[in-house]
Structure 1
Amino acid sequence: MPFHALRVARLDRLTDDAVAVTFAVPPELRETFRHRPGQHVTLRRTVDGAEARRTYSICGPAGSDAGLRVGIRHVEAGAFSSYALKELAAGDTVDVMPPTGRFVLEPRPGHFAAVVGGSGITPVLSIAATLLEREPTARFCLVRSDRTAASAMFLDETAELKDRFPDRLQLVHTLSREERHTGLPTGRLDADRLTGLLPALLPVADVAGWYLCGPLGLVQGAEAALRALDVPRERVHQEVFHVTAAPAASASATVTAPDTAPDAASASVTATLAGRGGTWPARSGESVLETVLRHRADAPYACKGGVCGTCRVRLLDGEVRMDTNYALEDDELADGYVLACQSHPVTPAVTVDFDG
């Protein structure tokens, strides 16, 4: 998937450590960058001679021609976020990959809900706005958690959405590090708290889709709460932000690890990408993505950490060991999808399809 140089139309300071960046999309690229609600884009820049890619969620409603707007929160020593907050200016150009991602909700009738933390509000803002604008019978419950009120991204946007749809948007805001005189008590939204809170807010069994987004701990806690409340797994969708370590495997971190693996040097990887195929020998210890990138620089990827899902491929033949998975859901795994950045050949030949 190719990158396109887009001009920065404006930057809006959201908090002390977060900005919203709006890119101008020229008419000839409007369809290329038309996104589904909840998708993200990958941004690219070169730092000290090395290419840095980072993935950021789109916060604007789908179908808008007002530009492509993403939310960026500063991460300590972040190769792109530091640049975005301190140096990026209107008029600059940035390499942007077209939208991708499956953490989406296509507007349809029903009651939907989200539990988000921190910058996890970004894709859900697009989801909620698109749903409420396009489907007049739909309802949405947004439960968000932030450290403090000052650290909360898109406060004005969520308040404006509430003003526009007061009867169909339910907004619950909790703070983990700041006392308030009104609203819910201060504290983290962990599994126990959510198990008690969610049934008090809405009819859990009637919710057609749950969208969990934010730090790993919050997503895992919300997932555990919904499991305790007997919510069917197929109704739960999740996107993890800010995985800083490799925690133990859980429902949010699927690990596929066959007991044995051949010498990687004897394995070959066959890949189809943009309609063209090739077969190449794998080097010891490298992932499927690394093997393909040595021969096809256009192979799509972003985080290389099993989080964003940009490198999703369909496994057509052979077996792989997938170290970590925070991006693919159960139905995708059942359909044979794996993350190329986390997959290592365990059979002499592996065939994958980036186009599938």
Structure 2
Amino acid sequence: MFHPLRVAEVEQLTDDSVAVTFAVPPQLRETFRHTPGQHLNLRRIADGEEIRRSYSICTAATADPVLRIGIRLIEDGSFSTFALKELAVGDTVEVMPPMGRFVLEPRPGHFAAIVGGSGITPVLSIATTLLEREPTARFCLIRSDRTVAAAMFLEEVADLKDRFPDRFQLVHTFSREEQQTGLPSGRLDTERLAALLPALLPVTEVDGWFLCGPYGLIQGAQRALTGLGVAEDRIHQEIFHAADAPAAPRTWTSPGGSTVTATLDGRSGSWPVQDGETVLETVLRNRADAPYACKGGVCGTCRVRLLSGEVRMDRNFALEREELDAGYVLACQSHPVTGSVEVDFDA
């Protein structure tokens, strides 16, 4: 369910990014209280077309929620262009309550993150909340940006280093700019990370790794960590900008006359699947309130539990292994391969 929230602040972070803060009225404080790492789904209507986008919350999780998100301009991105060039204090934006499972509930331990570009946004919330709430917790942040000028939330990260010098470790690399000190410039690929990480911290003793950024960086970091012996259940990832990620090859055909049965907000219905439709597309033709945002297999907003039948997903960058094993799929990527499929959006 979307709620109209007033824009309280728009702050220019870099030439191509802004931070947007929303005012949360007292009656919605519980609704918009977030877990560190979660995101917001935003909606606007432009030229009669509904546009939805997901943006991560960068602020610490507190009793009185402060909703601040980071938005980076994407080439031909209709929402990001609007946010950078038109959005102003006092405007109203339709916002869905926080969601997402790329999260860390504060607890004692040693945690680390590898982020690229705007991938710093949710990790900033995770690290800040952890260090503020858990006096023995430690956090190591390895971040990669093109240049210093392109790096989002520089001041906020520097503040963490000042406040928690013994518990917050920062390594900042740049792919297109040489620095007088620190690591040489270049991309953080698998080979480089495999050499760098053991020199920074005891890799296999870290209680949780959080990877966030573009597809190439996340894949490289995943391979490096796996190669260094990190258990799969300690690696959590959220991909931003998966346009360069390959879709799974279509090795099946959807049977004619398939039916999707879906439960949403306690109400169920069954509808025929049109040729080539995903489960989400079938449901949306009949239930406009079905939840979704990116439709690209990234945000996880459309996660459903598969109760019966079989589907095949084109791509999946949102669900982790334990979720798949528990029967969850992404409705926006799932095509029926049996005559009937039943899913539950409420599960």
User: TM-score category by the smaller chain?
Assistant: over 0.9
Q: CA separation in 2, counterparts of 1:248 and 1:349?
A: 24
Name the SS for the 1:150 alignment partner: coil
Secondary structure at the counterpart of residue 99 of structure 1: coil
The corresponding residue for 2:254 is 261
Q: CA deviation at 1:275?
A: 1.1
**CA–CA separation in structure 1 for the residues paired with 2:63 and 2:188:** 33
Which residue matches 2:115?
A: 116
* Distance in 2, Cα, partners of 1:107 & 1:130: 7
Offset at residue 321 of structure 1 (A): 1.2
SS in 2 for 1:35: coil
The gaps in structure 1 that reach 5 residues or longer are: 250-254
1:191-234 per-residue CA deviation (whole Å, 9 max, x = no partner) reads: 00000000000011110000000000000000000011010000
Question: Contact (CA 8 Å) 1:132, 1:165: kept in 2 or not?
Answer: yes
Give the conservation status (yes or no) of the 8 Å contact 2:10–2:21.
yes
- Contact 1:36-1:104 at 8 Å conserved across structures: yes
| Alignment match, 1:341 | 332
SS at match of 2:225: helix
1:169 pairs with 2:162? no
| Aligned partner of residue 80 in structure 1, secondary structure | helix
User: Map of 1:222-241 to 2, 5 A cutoff?
Assistant: 222-241=221-240
> How far apart, in 1, do the equivalents of 2:59 and 2:204 lie?
29
**Offset at residue 65 of structure 1 (A):** 2.4
2:305 is aligned to 314
Kept in 2, the 8 Å contact 1:17–1:85? The answer is: yes
The answer as to 2:209 corresponding to 1:216 is no
Question: For residue 94 of structure 1, what is the aligned residue in structure 2?
Answer: 93
1:89 and 1:211, CA in 2 relative to 1: closer, same or farther beyond 3 A?
Answer: same
- How far 1:52 moved relative to its partner? 0.4
- The question of 1:131 aligning with 2:130 is answered yes
* CA–CA separation in structure 2 for the residues paired with 1:218 and 1:129: 23
- Aligned match of 2:264: 273
Unpaired stretches in structure 2, ≥5 consecutive residues: none
Alignment match, 1:152: 151
TM-score (norm. length: structure 1)? 0.96
Q: May I ask how many residue pairs the two structures share in their alignment?
A: 347
2 CA distance for matches of 1:278 and 1:91? Answer: 40
Q: Give the secondary structure class of the aligned counterpart of 2:78.
A: coil
Separation of aligned partners in 2, 1:298 and 1:29: 20
Compute the displacement of 1:67 (Å): 2.5
Which secondary structure does the structure 1 equivalent of 2:188 belong to?
A: coil
Asked whether the equivalents of residues 258 and 321 of structure 1 are also in contact (C-alpha less than 8 Å), the reply is no
Query: Distance in 2 between the 1:35 and 1:298 partners?
Result: 22
Report the counterpart of residue 200 of structure 1 in structure 2.
199
Paired AA for residue 276 in structure 2: G
Partner of 1:305: 296
Q: Residue 138 of structure 1 aligns to which amino acid in structure 2?
A: A
Task: State the AA in 1 paired with 2:319.
Answer: L
Q: Which residue of 2 aligns with 1:16?
A: 15
Q: In structure 1, what residue type is equivalent to 2:143?
A: R
Change (3 A) 1:14 1:291: same
- 1:244 to partner: Cα distance: 1.4
Which residue matches 2:280? 289
Instruction: State the shift of 1:322 in Å.
Output: 0.7
Counterpart of 2:27 in structure 1 is: 28
Letter in 2 for 1:232: A
Tell me which amino acid in the other structure corresponds to 1:241: F
- Aligned residues with identical type, % of pairs: 72
- The question of whether the paired residues in 1 share the 8 Å contact of 2:207 and 2:234 is answered with yes
